[in-house]
Each structure stands twice: as C-alpha cells, then as structure tokens.
Structure 1
C-alpha cells in the first residue's frame, strides 16, 4: 500500500521506517529540508536504538523516500498518517494544535478519492471530529462510485528507547473510525501485526483520542504515587525500594513504573496530563481530573527535593562546590532533553552557585543547545574530576556499571546522590562512598 507519514520527528521517522519494513511504499513529509536530507541518507536526526539500520535498509531498497510537498503526498498516498507535534500552548495548559491543523488544511485539497487521513498525534478529545469535518469540507468532490476521503484516529504508544520494537510488535492497536471502509484500510496497513496476534481495538474517534491521554495519565499517577511514598519513607525512616518490591508483588498493582526517584519528564507525559486537565475544564468536568494537578505537583517537587538533598549532603551551600551530573536525557536510551528532570536539576544547582559538569552518552549536543552555560564532559571521569558531589540523574546502563573504586580516585569527596535508585548501594559504600538516595534515608 502507498502510505505517507507527515511529520518526520521522533514519532514520524520511526513510523515511516517501520511501515516500509512492513512492506509498504512510504513517503515521508516535513517542512524541515535539512532533516529530510539527513533522513534521505539514512541518518535519523535523533538517537533511537535500531532506527538507523531500519531507515537505511528502507531508503536503500527504495521503499521509503522524503518530500516537503503536501501536494505530492496527497497525490501519492492512499493512507496518510499525521505525526506532527502537539506541544503545550504558551501561557496555558492546553495543547497547541496549529501544526495538526496546518497539515489537514494543506493536505485535504490534494486528497485522492477513497483516501484516509489517520491522526497519530496526541490531541484533546474532540479534535478528530473537528478535523474530520475539515477534511470533508476541503477535499475535492468525488464522482459517482468513488468514496469520499475521510479521517480516522490511531494513537501511538511508543516508549523512547523501544520505539522500533513498539511499532513493529505493539502491545495493542487502537483505531477510531467512522466507517467499515476505514477500518478495513487500517487492518490492511497493520496486517503483519494482526497476523502476529496483536490485539486490535476498533472504536469511535473520541474513545481513540482518550485512550492515549488516559494511559499517560495512569502511568504518571503510578510514578507520582511511588514518589509520594518516597517522601513518606524519608520522613519515617523507611525504604521505598523494598516498599515498591513488596506492593509490586500484588498482581493488581504490579512492579513496573514503581521506581521512585527524580520523576518523569520528556515531551509526552508532562504536557499530556496538563492538556487533559485543560480539555476536561472545557468539557465542564474539570473536577474529574483535579487529581492530575496533584500528580504534576508531586512530580515537579521531586526536582526540588533532589536539589535540597544535594545541598544538605554538601554542607548547606553550593557556592564554590564542584558537582558532577550523570545524565542529561529525560530517560536512558534517548537523546531527548525535553523537560528533562536531570537538566532542570543541573541548571538549578548552577543558579545556586555550583560549578556543574554534565555527562550523558547521547544527549550532550541537545543539552548544550538548551543550556549552553553548563559545562559538559565527554567521559564520566572527566565529569567527576575534583567533584564534591556526584548526582546520578538518568538511568543509563553504563552508570549502573561504573566502578566506584576507580571513580573515587578522581573526585574530591566520594559522595553520590542516586536520583534514580538504580546504583548498587552496598558496592559504592564498600568503595568508600557516602551514598544517599530518594526515599532511602537510612539505607
């Protein structure tokens, strides 16, 4: 099938490569010509494990190419995936939908009869119905016997670091449609996944939109819950890791997303729960989601708590102190620094007088673009040189595998604050380090 993917950022580039891998002929569309040039050479503009190989294979095979023309896209494709961003609107909790609107307005006049526009962007409920009406209004008239272009919604559930896997072998496919024909087209698009037994949930447009934000809100709630428990453990002398292990054995609760620490960041969870609250207010049911405000506050409070604990460890003041920050990306196996808790803490420490040096295996360039006044190091030992305190803030495997005995020789004082509760505390203490972690005050 001929498929277009409009927007070749994180979601779009992965989706385009995976659709080509699944046997489709794919055209990627973007306004950023430098990004298109890199993708056309098989080079993704961001770090994602497995994507460069997939992209290069598709480009070399001729099953994936790129353009900046929506007219070309409309004339080429039968199914058009909309994968542009919906960032938080400045001065508001609401989502900024101008990129999605612009794509639909620009594409619709060029749609062929029978084509299907499929939204994958995360949007407030009700957006799909509005855009469906826009497609019907702007699409060219069809002749007798031809089907009108229409719109469906198919939210993405990608985890950065696992995006290729999540696209090729998803844990479910959620599809909001208004016709049997649209449903049949999407079943054809995803035939390899369905043949492998992927659950397929066909529903209406509104439910499809809500599934995405509901899932993200639940995950955010679970993370903030265990971080609230970490706060209680700090006050009461408990151990949040043991607590999480214990309650995680309950099958109704489960252990995943119960790792206490610095909290969540990135380009999805924070802005999605805020946009969900904003939309609930517009629908007149803001009280139903008022708890999400507490979830957001608990999450942001973890950053403040990390700074406070670092100050306490270092003797009450950051002035003149050297601090090494291990991690800049918001999560491991990614170079994404959007709303990164690690970078937020690093910048706060610098503002309060510390000399901060940051290391990350993949995100240094993106971090430097966002926070150019921080110092950066290309290897861990250089970052930790003469440090009075080391902060472990992104859970990269290479940080968990560090040799604390070797690192102790380059720091000024062997003190570490584990903001992710991921280091082997006994191993670090045996190497002479003072170790503190969120929610483990006496452990």
Structure 2
C-alpha cells in the first residue's frame, strides 16, 4: 500500500520503518529538517534497540522515504497520525496543536479523487478527538474516513511491539459503510500481522481512544501502589520486594510492574494520566479518576524520598560531598529524558550543593545539551571515583551487573542507594557497602495497641 506517517518522532519514525518492513511504500512527513535529514540518511535521531538497522535497511530498500514536503503524501491510501500530544503548559490537559496541524496537512494534501482515503490516528488523544477530526474531514469535502488505531509501544521494545503487537485495535466510525471502508483498508495494511494470528479488536472510536490512556493509568496505578507499600515497609521494617513477590503469586494481581523504586517517568505515563483527569473533568465525571491524583502524587513523592535518603546517609547535607548518579534516562534501553525520575533526583541533589557526576550509556549526549549545569561523564569509573555516595537510578543491565568489590576500590565511601531495587543487598553488604533500597531496609517499629 501507499502509506504516509505524519510526525517522525519516536512513534512515527518507528511506525514508518516497520510499515516499510511489512512491504508498504511509506513516506514519513515531519517539519524538522534536521530530523528528516538524519532519518533519510539512515541515522536514528534517538536510541532504540534494533531501530538503527531497520531504518538503514528500509531506506536503502527504496520503500521508505522521509520528507518535509507535504505534497509527497498526496497519493497515500492511509495516513497515520503519529505526532506528540504533550501536556499543556501550566495545565493537566493534552496539547493537541500538533494533531490539529497534522490533520490540516492531510485535509489540504490528501487526494481522494480515486476513492476514499483513511486517516488512522496513532497519537494518544483525549476521548472525543476522533469525532472532531471526522467533522473536520467531512467539512473539507474530501472522502476521508477516520479510524483510531492506538499504539502500544514500550520504549526499548518499540520495533518488536510494532511488528509483533499483542493486539491491534480499530476504532471505527458509527456509520456501517464508513466503518467497513476503514476496516478494509487497515486489514490490508496489517494483513501480514493478522496472518500471524495477532488479535484484532473492532470498537467504536471513543473506546479506541480510551484504550491507551486506560492501560497507562492502570500501569501507573500498579507502580504507585507498590511504592506506597514501600513507604509502609520503610516505616515498619518490611521488605517491599518480598511483599511484591508474595502478592504477585496471586494470578489476579501478577508480579509485573510491582517493583518499587523512584517511580515512573517518560513521555507517556505522567502526561497521559494527567490529560485523562483533565478530560474526565471536561466531561463532568472527574470523580471517576480522582484516584489518579494520588497515583501521581505518590510517584513524585518517591523522587523526594530518594533525595532525602541520600541527604540522611551523608549526615544531612550534600555540600562537601561527591555523589555519583548512575542513569539519567527514564528507563533502560532508551535515551529519553522526558520527565525522568533519575534526572529529577540528580538535579535536586546538585541544586542542594553536591559535587555531582552523572553517567548514562545512551543519554549522555542529550543530557549534556539539556542540562549543561551537570557534570556528565562517559563511564561508571569516572562517575564513582572518590564518591561519598552512589545513586543507581536507571536499571541498565551494566549497572545491575557491576562488581561491588571492584567498585568499592574506586569510591571514597561505600554507600549505595538502589533506586530501582535491582541489586542483591546481601552481595553488596558482604562486599562492605552500606546498601539502601526503596522500602527494603526500614527499621522496626513498636507494636501498636499492646
């Protein structure tokens, strides 16, 4: 098929390359000339495992091109909208500026003279957006069918999640004839994936719009729940990791996402749950999502708890102490610094007077650009040398596999805060370290009511 992808950031660039991998002729459109030049040359503008090879392969094949010229998308049979929906400045609501611009571009340049063309929304948007897009499409006089086709990418697994998704969702128009057109076009687009037996769900547009934000809200709730349990473990002497293991055996609960730490971040979960709350308020059902305010608050509180714990271990002050921070990206296998708990903690520690060194395997270059005030180094050895405290804040495999005996020979004081609860406490304490996790080493309290 002839496919266009509007917006070539993380979501759009990966989707475009994967659609080309499936055999389609794909044009990726973006307004950022530097980004388009990198992508056209087969150079990924962000870190994502497997994407670089896929991009180079598909641009070389002739099936994938990137451009800033909107005329190049005119003959596409399906236009995927994959632009960002960031949080509005000073508000919880989503900023739909880029979505509106993408739709305007499609309405202006799409050629429907040969028959109906599909607009397939990938962006995470407030429920009701698809209906407004369809109204704009109808007003344009062009034969355009709007389908909402949410993405479910995990950073670090984006290529795999696109080529082998666990489900594909079509949010179709209410009109049966228009719905049939949308279904037929997306079925053709995803034919090879559907042939693998990947589940396809047909819903109306509002349901499809709700799927992604509902999923993100549920995951955020699980993370904040176990972090709330970590607070209780710190107060009582419990171990949150063992607690998570115990409740995770219950098949109704499951172990995934029950790992306490400094909380979630990135470009999706934080802004999506806030936009979800904002939209619920606009719809007059804000009480339905009031619990997400506490989910958000617990998440942010974990960052402050890590800073306070570091301060306590350094005698109540950072001034005069060298602190090493391992990790800056919001998660491993990514260079994404958006709303990163690791970067937030590092910034707070630096602002309170620490001599700070921070490192990250993928995000160092971006970090130097975004936070020129921080001392960014390239290796763990550079970061920890003569450190009084080490903070592990992003669970990169190379940090989990560090040898505590070797590392002790580099630091001044062997104190480590495991902000992701991924290290073996016994192994580190046996090597002479003072180990602190999140909700793993609280002191016992006196029994109440006796």
TM-score (norm 1): 0.97
- Segment drifting more, 281-290 vs 187-196: 187-196
The runs of 5 or more residues in structure 1 that have no matched partner are 141-147
Residue of structure 2 in register with 1:145 after alignment: none
Residue of structure 2 in register with 1:29 after alignment: 29
Residue of structure 1 in register with 2:77 after alignment: 78
Query: Is the counterpart of residue 99 in structure 1 residue 98 in structure 2?
Result: yes
What are the superposed Cα offsets for residues 127-164 of structure 1, whole Å, 9 maximum, x if unpaired? 11001111111244xxxxxxx21211001000000000
Is contact 1:331-1:394 (8 Å) kept?
yes
Q: CA deviation at 1:302?
A: 0.2
3-state SS of 1:440 partner:
coil
Q: CA deviation at 1:109?
A: 2.3
2:150 corresponds to which of 135, 155, 167: 155
3-state SS of 2:325 partner:
strand
In structure 1, how many angstroms separate the alpha carbons of the residues matched to 2:82 and 2:37?
Answer: 19
Residue of structure 1 in register with 2:360 after alignment: 360
Is contact 2:145-2:181 (8 Å) kept?
no
In structure 2, how many angstroms separate the alpha carbons of the residues matched to 1:331 and 1:109?
Answer: 39
3-state SS of 2:395 partner:
coil
Q: CA deviation at 1:370?
A: 2.0
Residue of structure 1 in register with 2:128 after alignment: 126
In structure 2, how many angstroms separate the alpha carbons of the residues matched to 1:432 and 1:422?
Answer: 18
The runs of 5 or more residues in structure 2 that have no matched partner are 174-178, 444-450
What are the superposed Cα offsets for residues 349-378 of structure 1, whole Å, 9 maximum, x if unpaired? 011111110010000112222211010110
Query: Is the counterpart of residue 176 in structure 1 residue 178 in structure 2?
Result: no
Is contact 1:112-1:149 (8 Å) kept?
no
Q: CA deviation at 1:318?
A: 0.6
Q: CA deviation at 1:112?
A: 2.1
Residue of structure 1 in register with 2:448 after alignment: none
Runs of at least 4 residues of structure 1 off by over 3 A?
A: none
3-state SS of 2:383 partner:
helix
Residue of structure 1 in register with 2:311 after alignment: 311
Q: CA deviation at 1:442?
A: 4.8
In structure 1, how many angstroms separate the alpha carbons of the residues matched to 2:32 and 2:108?
Answer: 22
In structure 1, how many angstroms separate the alpha carbons of the residues matched to 2:72 and 2:206?
Answer: 30
3-state SS of 1:176 partner:
strand
Is contact 1:111-1:139 (8 Å) kept?
no
Is contact 1:118-1:151 (8 Å) kept?
yes
Query: Is the counterpart of residue 166 in structure 1 residue 161 in structure 2?
Result: yes
**For 1:18-417, what aligned pairs fall within 5 Å after superposition?**
18-73=18-73, 75-113=74-112, 114-140=116-142, 148-178=143-173, 179-417=179-417
CA RMSD of aligned residues (A): 0.9
What are the superposed Cα offsets for residues 78-134 of structure 1, whole Å, 9 maximum, x if unpaired? 100000000000011000001000110122122222111111000000011001111
Is contact 2:235-2:442 (8 Å) kept?
no
In structure 2, how many angstroms separate the alpha carbons of the residues matched to 1:238 and 1:353?
Answer: 32
In structure 2, how many angstroms separate the alpha carbons of the residues matched to 1:126 and 1:276?
Answer: 12
Q: CA deviation at 1:71?
A: 2.6
Is contact 1:71-1:107 (8 Å) kept?
no
Residue of structure 1 in register with 2:446 after alignment: none
In structure 2, how many angstroms separate the alpha carbons of the residues matched to 1:70 and 1:412?
Answer: 58
Q: CA deviation at 1:70?
A: 2.0
3-state SS of 2:284 partner:
coil
In structure 2, how many angstroms separate the alpha carbons of the residues matched to 1:400 and 1:139?
Answer: 57
**For 1:409-428, what aligned pairs fall within 5 Å after superposition?**
409-428=409-428
Is contact 2:172-2:202 (8 Å) kept?
yes
Residue of structure 1 in register with 2:447 after alignment: none
Is contact 2:222-2:258 (8 Å) kept?
yes
3-state SS of 2:261 partner:
coil
In structure 2, how many angstroms separate the alpha carbons of the residues matched to 1:134 and 1:399?
Answer: 50
In structure 2, how many angstroms separate the alpha carbons of the residues matched to 1:111 and 1:133?
Answer: 16
In structure 2, how many angstroms separate the alpha carbons of the residues matched to 1:367 and 1:136?
Answer: 44
In structure 2, how many angstroms separate the alpha carbons of the residues matched to 1:255 and 1:192?
Answer: 32
Is contact 1:404-1:431 (8 Å) kept?
yes
Q: CA deviation at 1:308?
A: 0.6
Is contact 1:155-1:174 (8 Å) kept?
yes
Q: CA deviation at 1:248?
A: 0.4
In structure 2, how many angstroms separate the alpha carbons of the residues matched to 1:95 and 1:71?
Answer: 29
Q: CA deviation at 1:430?
A: 1.5
Q: CA deviation at 1:35?
A: 0.7
Residue of structure 2 in register with 1:143 after alignment: none
Is contact 2:20-2:58 (8 Å) kept?
yes
Q: CA deviation at 1:72?
A: 2.1
